[in-house]
Amino acid sequence: MTKKTKNSKPYQGKNTQASKTQSHKSQPPKERGFALNLIVVLMILHGIAATIMYMNIRTNATTLDRPWLISMMVIHSVLNIIAAIGIIYWERWALVLYLVSTGLAVVAGLLGMGIWSLFYMILPLAIVGWVLRDKWKYFGIA
């Protein structure tokens, strides 16, 4: 049994409306800024263009020695589009998806073009990481 005093309120737990509004007010507004907006738009446009290009190569070329490589790049492009949309909404899974997509592109690049493809494949990841350097907290990362 709990003892009620004159000024005490019964325990309401952590999920009270007052605590929700206080925690909501303490968070700064999430702003992407010009650089991140530009990067996300470029990610989406590049993903769409690359998907169309790789699909045309895949369907029109009959003498490809590694058609699965083109399929990997199509998957990479589609994953980049999905990751860019997730980044717009500050989703942590979008960052993980972008890392996985970049890893897939690195593997495809190494198998198809050689060691110099690493620069081309990792440079976009470095740019996105640099633009997001002050915004990790919006994704729930330290």
Greater confidence (131 vs 18) lies with: 131
| pTM (2 d.p.) | 0.67
Contact by Cβ (8 Å): 62, 102: no
CA distance 50 to 95: 20
Residues 61-94: tens digit of each pLDDT: 665 677 778 888 889 899 999 999 998 888 889 8
Give the residue-averaged pLDDT of 19-26: 51
pLDDT digits (tens, 9 = 90+) for 86-119: 988 888 898 889 888 888 888 888 887 777 777 7
- Checking if the pLDDT of 17 tops 70, the result is no
Burial class (CB in 10 A: 0-12, 13-18, 19+), 77: buried
